[in-house]
Structure formats: structure tokens, C-alpha cells
Amino acid sequence: MAKKAAVAAPAVVATDAPTYTADCQLKFPADYREWVFLTSGLDMSYAPKAGPATHSVFNNVFVNLSAYKVFVKTGTWPDGTMFMLENRAAEGNHSINTRGQTQAIEVTGTELHVKDSTHKTGPDAKDSWAFYNFNDKTSAKAIPRAASCYSCHQDHAAVDTTFVQFYPTLMGIAKEKNVLSPEYLKELAAPAATPAEGAK
């Protein structure tokens, strides 16, 4: 190994690449709050006839830094990309805030969407991506591919099964790099025709 490369490169990979247990469970990335923030939504739903939210929740999305830097340059997600969806309870009238909502200490969910060709979860070429739902901060198995998260992301996400249309700093890059998915472009042309029935 060349001395110069040994100084610069490995540090990034070591800190933000997906890692697994011996039985192929993804380890919880403890430092995800130091990843790059992409967006926060409040009380989102993909159901066509969603009722009012019963518990108000912020959805914070983070991506690991090395993947973010590749996307900014190329408009593509490299192997090793990890998105964290952190659901966090919303609260009103906290401290001196008298309107709207702020983020509470309570985390109500942590889900990862990971691109890793060494851990494919199915037979087709798209299967480098897998979803993981963490019940604790240790590890989680990949969600089976029959789950609606896979088909919803496949059918509606703007770039490579990721919801770049909700990431305001990345959408311009996706347009500039001409990487919007055929599914998304089709939906843009007829937005009312393709609601995500039953998805949440």
C-alpha cells in the first residue's frame, strides 16, 4: 500500500460504510447524527386518503458523508450508501416556543435504506438496495422484498429508488445530471394517476 493513500482514504470508509454481524444483520450506525442531513418532513403520508395524524412526528433523513459527496459530483449513489430515516416525536409549546412544532427527545423509529452489492437481498439487478427497521440500537435483518417499501420506492422515487424529490439540495443536482428515474418522470407527466395505494 502506498504511504500517501494510507493517510487519506481509509478513514472515510471505516467510519461510514455498512457493517454486518456474522449472520448478515446490519449493525446500527451509532454516529448517524453526524451524517449529512437531507430533509425533515412533518406528518407525511403516501396514502391517497390519509386522515389526520394521530401522533405528530418529524421524519429526519440523513445520508452518510462519503455517499453524499459522490452524489453531489455524479448524481449517483455509490455502493455503501446508507440513508437513515429517524422518526422523532413533535411537540408544541416547548420552552419559549408558542407556535408550530419542535422536535422532542423521543425517537419513535429508525430505518435504514442501504445500497450494498455484497449484500443483495434478491435476484434482480436492483437488489443492491435493502431496507432495515431497527427495534434497538444493535442490529437488524433486511426487510423481505415483498414489503411495500421496496415497490413504493421503485415506483415513485426520483433517483435510483431514493426519494430525491424530497431532498431540496439534491433535486437540482439530479436534474442537472439527468438521472431522474423513468418511473418518476412518468409520474411527473401524470401526477394524479399514480397514488401509492395503501402505502404509508
Applying CB under 8 A, the residues found at the interface with a second copy are: 33-34, 36-37, 39-50, 52-53, 58, 60, 62, 65, 68, 88, 90, 94-105, 156, 158, 163, 165-166, 168-169, 171-172, 187, 191, 194-196, 199
Evaluate whether 32 touches 84 at the Cβ level (below 8 Å): yes
State the minimum distance, in angstroms, from the CB of residue 55 to a second copy.
12
Q: Nearer Cβ to a second copy, position 39 or 76?
A: 39
The CA-CA-CA angle for residues 155, 77, 120, to 5°, reads 70
DSSP letter, residue 94: -
Q: Residue 115 CB, nearest distance to a second copy (Å)?
A: 20
Rg (CA), the chain: 18
* Shorter beta-carbon distance to a second copy: residue 17 or 65: 65
Query: In angstroms, rounded to a whole number, what is the distance separating the alpha carbons of residues 200 and 191?
Result: 18
Residues 193 and 186 sit within 8 Å (Cβ to Cβ): no
> Within 10 Å of residue 146's Cβ, how many Cβ atoms?
8
Nearer to a second copy, 13 or 50 (CB): 50
Residue whose CB is less far from a second copy, 40 or 138 = 40
| CB of residue 117 to a second copy, shortest distance in Å | 26
CB neighbourhood size of 133 (10 A): 15
Kindly state the smallest distance separating residue 189's Cβ from a second copy, in Å. 13
